[in-house]
Amino acid sequence: MRATLLLGVAAMALVACDGDPAPVERGANPTLPAPQRGLLPNMTIPRPAGWGTERPTVPQGYTIQAIATDMRIPRQMVALPNGDILVAEGSGGNAPTLRPKDFIAGIIKSWGKSSVSGGNRLTLLRDADGDGTYETRNIFASDLNAPYGLALANGSIYVANQDALVRFDYVEGQTEASGPPVQVTGLPAAINHHWTKALAASPDGRFLYVGIGSNSNITERGMTAEVDRAMVWEINAETGAHRPYATGLRNPTALTIQPGSGQLWAVVNERDEIGPNLVPDYLTSVREGAFYGWPYSYWGQNVDERVRPQNPQLVAAAVAPDYALGSHVAALGLAFSTPAMGASFADGVFVGEHGSWNRSVPSGYRVVFVPFEGGRPAGDAVDFATGFLNAEGNARGRPVGVTIDARGGLVIADDLSNTIWRVTASQPQPAATPAAAVPPAGAPAAGDTPAGDTTAAPGR
């Protein structure tokens, strides 16, 4: 009876919504509207529709094919040097609800998810002859706890489970783990409102970077629940010792290292419930010691009045992100491109956008390309893989992780249709070359280090 009543309230709230008043804005300097508050946010979840004979749409001159189907909630991937692709499959979380609106939102969000249970495993895909058909599929490791982030370093496969960073010894070409995982360090796992743990390794393999999301939208559970949350940890790969590397990142869902510069980058999911066009999810370089606003402010120093007590000192120090991806797009995947993807998409990043639940007009549900110039975002984002929503507004799929494999293809995990897609340029492209080293945004030029500044880029 209670559930029926709450869903009725939700339905009335949805009927009352007037739609989203402005388009999703992307770029380095987005125009931010005034916050909007209400009983419930606008909520629209495209229902699962399946691909049938269709497939995502990619630009002319590119081909996309499904290289694996019937996965069990594929999330992030790592491309191995011999051409194999390792996929993390799983689903975690299950934080208790706090408010009636949380209960309603949870039910509505569930309508847009796969009915398949998470695999809690790593699956290895192999195309032995390089013809584009991945004829071998092996369970590399099983009985994991909601694995998400993956990285290859130091002769090991590192896996960020929802509660611990673990590693497996790895020899190129092996198709299954040679033994159980070894724990590097535990990760915050109480409540796990945001359970995903993104992962990247420094270029020299000395450090692992783990993205840890907040335990709430905007501190509804109290600040005690947010200890060690909404930040990126730097972890010593040998000892497991860790420290905060950057803070105020509400939910850093994917991390990667920029080739050449060694700079750490992230995509971050921002806060909800202040309107369909606030707050933009974003792409940003992650600067050591920087504070990115959550929970006190957003997009730099725009104060979130819902937070009590306020913290003007931290707000004054808040760093604005590099690039807005649009509000509520739910960016979950991030990969730097290579020249093998063709001249138009050679320099920049691909971002997997899982898709919104709290807009009456859905946003996301696509893979976009953000062009770079001089090592930083420059120009308008381009929709690269689309068609995840059909003409009726239902979802054929939802992109999550993206990676460039050893042969220069863009690989996309789709956790709604449980498919792994691979996109290649129709004509052979030049071999990949690393980008020139570029300092992170806001960093001093060589030789201009300010007095007292002891920070260093990843891999120091």
pLDDT in tens, 180-224: 999 999 999 999 999 999 999 999 999 999 999 999 999 999 999
290 in Cβ contact with 252 (< 8 Å): no
In DSSP terms, 257 is beta-bridged to 264
Residue 144 lies in a domain: yes
- State which H helix or E strand residue 126 sits in: strand 121-126
- CA 232, CA 1: separation in Å to the nearest integer? 42
For residue 223, report the phi and psi dihedrals to the nearest 5 degrees.
Answer: -70, -20
Residue 391 lies in a domain: yes
Residue 111 lies in a domain: yes
What are the Cα distances from residue 178, in Å, to 81, 141, 173, 174, 203? 18, 9, 12, 9, 25
10 in Cβ contact with 43 (< 8 Å): yes
Residue 248 lies in a domain: yes
Instruction: Show the tokens assigned to 281.
Output: 């999810």
What are the Cα distances from residue 354, in Å, to 40, 52, 81, 120, 440? 21, 20, 27, 20, 27
Asked if pLDDT for residue 10 goes beyond 70, the answer is no
- CA 266, CA 283: separation in Å to the nearest integer? 6
Tens-digit pLDDT profile for residues 380-439: 999 999 999 999 999 999 999 999 999 999 999 999 999 999 999 987 665 444 344 334
- pLDDT score, position 110: 80
Overall size of the chain counted in residues = 460
**Region 135-156: what's the mean pLDDT?**
98
Q: Which residue range is the domain that position 381 belongs to?
A: 42-425
Asked if pLDDT for residue 353 goes beyond 60, the answer is yes
Residue 13 lies in a domain: no
- pLDDT score, position 449: 32
Residue 287 lies in a domain: yes
Torsional class of 330: left (φ above 0), alpha (ψ -120 to 50), beta (otherwise):
left
Q: Which residue has the tokens 């797009």?
A: 329
The CA angle 56-200-279, to the nearest 5 degrees, is 65
| 458 or 73, which is more confident | 73
Residue 430 lies in a domain: no
Looking at every residue in the chain, the average pLDDT score rounds to 89
Residue 107 lies in a domain: yes
| 310 or 15, which is more confident | 310
Q: How confident is the model at residue 24 (pLDDT cuts 50, 70, 90)?
A: low
Q: How far is CA 103 from the centre of its chain?
A: 24
Residues 6+ apart with CB under 8 A from 158: 149, 150, 151, 152, 165, 166, 167, 184, 199, 201, 208, 237
**Region 247-266: what's the mean pLDDT?**
98
| 449 or 263, which is more confident | 263
56 in Cβ contact with 413 (< 8 Å): no
Asked if pLDDT for residue 451 goes beyond 70, the answer is no
Q: Three-state DSSP class for 329?
A: coil
**Region 246-254: what's the mean pLDDT?**
98
Instruction: Show the tokens assigned to 134.
Output: 């991945």
Asked if pLDDT for residue 108 goes beyond 80, the answer is no
Of 35-39, 237-241, 341-345, which gets the smallest average pLDDT? 35-39
How many domains does the chain fold into?
A: 1
- pLDDT score, position 20: 63
- pLDDT score, position 444: 35
Q: How confident is the model at residue 94 (pLDDT cuts 50, 70, 90)?
A: confident
- pLDDT score, position 6: 38
Give the CATH number for residue 72. 2.120.10.30
Asked if pLDDT for residue 455 goes beyond 70, the answer is no
